[in-house]
Amino acid sequence: MRTPSRSHGPASYRRPGEPAKAASPRPALPARRRGAALLLILGILAVLGWLGAAIARETLRQQAETAAFARGQRLRERAWSAAECVLAGLRERRLMRGGLYTVPADGDTLLRASGFDSGGGMPVRVRIADVSAAYGLGKIETDTLRELFVSLGVPPDTAPALADTFLDRFRRAPAKRLLGMKREDYADAGLPPPPERLPATEAELLAVPGLPKWFTDEHGRPDNRFADLIACLALTGDTTAPNLNTAPPAMLRHLHRTGMIPDAEAFRRWRDGPDGRPGTGDDRYARQTADLAAAGVGLPAEGAAYTVRRVRLDVTVTFAESSFLLTLEADPEQSVPNFPWKIVRQIENAPVL
């Protein structure tokens, strides 16, 4: 009796006399495994490559941010250094003349005189303005604002209501709210609700109801009269008597209308010097009423002002495609340690990259 051959599985059993069958080929398991392993390795490499690229991008971003921050700090330090040099030059001018009566339109001359390096790959531009050449929004009276509107072309019968609305919106209304007046009280009184804060830009002045009718063109854009308005009305400062030596032409016309100066055009021609252009080296200025009398331009009324009481600097520093703007307002009559004058207002813009 024959016994089945020893093999693995029932397929290997063969009956007596039955021919042997050919063995069926087994699947190529090693090749499949090699393919799966290859795909796995490729996937791992792809993930590692993606992670490496992400890490590289993040590293570059952090390096760019660090470089931008360092560049911004250098621009900021240079802007403050330029501002300090300009204010120091104005302080010296004030001491030499016995008072600060005018300011130059730009600070290049003062920067050069101080030894400030205006090059170095980071050019500096300084614009100087006398804030006290305009009425301060926080101090101007209703009658004065009404006369200013009339001087700028608003009809006399419309100017009083416009002045009241203007001051209610930007000065009186916030003060009333502090005293407990609610926003709905304005609607009951037929007044527009006040803003939550005083205006930060001149463009916000056009939000006053009725103002665009007189200070914009047919397309709703601010016109030349609006440019005269913002030249005569400062958002900051507390000026009630503008400085005659630096007052803009629109302010001189207004002061002539109110009787402060007898002849605005004659005074402007005398003040601007032989070349007829303000802000140049031949400009004249008056220290007191007697100076105007000697010049033959007429005597101003009592209470005329001749000195600069607040200076504004706009310092712009550029480097490649980056820039930094520093805006300062300083009081020439106050000094502080380690700085020429007291800074009463400052705005720093982040670098524009």
Of 100, 126, 122, 129, residue with least CA distance to 113? 126
> Would 147 be classed as within a structural domain?
yes
Q: Is the pLDDT of residue 132 over 90?
A: yes
CA 235 vs CA 15, 29, 64, 248: distances in Å: 114, 85, 38, 16
| Total structural domains within the chain | 2
Mean pLDDT is lowest, of 1-10, 273-282, 344-353, for 1-10
- Structure confidence at residue 130 (pLDDT): 94
Domain stops at, among 270, 295, 320? 295
Out of 2-6, 131-135, 268-272, 277-281, pick the least confident.
2-6
Is residue 43 in some structural domain?
A: no
Q: How many angstroms separate the Cα of 258 from the Cα of each of 126, 159, 293, 299? A: 34, 15, 19, 14
Flag the least confident range among 119-123, 183-187, 251-255.
Answer: 183-187
143 and 121, same domain (yes or no): no
Residues 163 and 241 in one domain: yes
Domain extent for 286? 133-295
pLDDT digits (tens, 9 = 90+) for 293-325: 888 888 888 889 999 999 999 999 988 778 899
Give the pLDDT score at 144.
Answer: 93
Q: Residue 179: pLDDT band by 50, 70, 90 thresholds?
A: very low
User: Which tokens in the block code for residue 333?
Assistant: 């009559």
Q: Residue 93: inside a domain, yes or no?
A: yes
Weakest-pLDDT range from 40-44, 63-67, 261-265: 63-67
Q: pTM higher than 0.85 for the full model?
A: no
For residue 119, pLDDT over 70 is answered with: no
24 within a domain of the structure (yes/no): no
Residues 139 and 286 in one domain: yes
Region 206-221: what's the mean pLDDT? 89
Q: Is residue 6 part of a domain?
A: no
Give the neighbor-by-neighbor strand order of the sheet with 311-319. Answer: 124-130, 311-319, 322-331, 342-348
Tell me, yes or no, whether 146 and 265 share the same domain: yes
pLDDT at 139: 86
Residues 287 and 198 in one domain: yes
**Is residue 177's pLDDT more than 90?**
no
Q: Identity (one letter) of the amino acid at 266?
A: A
Is residue 279 located within the same domain as residue 174? yes
Q: Is the pLDDT of residue 10 over 80?
A: no
- Is the pLDDT at 186 greater than 70, yes or no? no
- What's the longest Cα–Cα distance across the chain? 152
Q: Write out pLDDT tens, residues 86-117.
A: 999 999 999 998 899 999 888 888 888 888 87
* Res. 329: pLDDT tops 70: yes
How many other β-carbons are positioned within 10 Å of the β-carbon of residue 235? 19
Residues 96 and 237 in one domain: no
- For residues 147 and 274, membership in a common domain is answered with yes
Structural domain includes residue 11: no
Beta bridge partner(s), residue 125: 316
Residue 37 lies in a domain: no
Q: What is the pLDDT of residue 323?
A: 87
Task: Give residue 167's pLDDT.
Answer: 85
Contact 55, 80 (CB under 8 A): no
Q: Please report the pLDDT score of residue 229 as a whole number.
A: 94
Query: Can you give the CATH number for the domain in which 78 is found?
Result: 3.30.1300
Helices first, then strands: H and E counts in the chain: 11, 6
State mean pLDDT over 126-134.
93
Same domain, yes or no, for 261 and 172? yes
144 in the same domain as 291: yes
First to last CA, the chain: 98
328 and 288, same domain (yes or no) = no
> Is 54 among the domain residues?
no
pLDDT digits (tens, 9 = 90+) for 259-298: 999 988 999 999 988 888 877 778 889 999 888 888 888 8
pLDDT at 24: 58
DSSP 312-352: EEEEEEEETTEEEEEEEEEETT--BTTBSSEEEEEEEPPP-
Looking at the fold, whether 119 and 161 belong to one and the same domain comes out as no
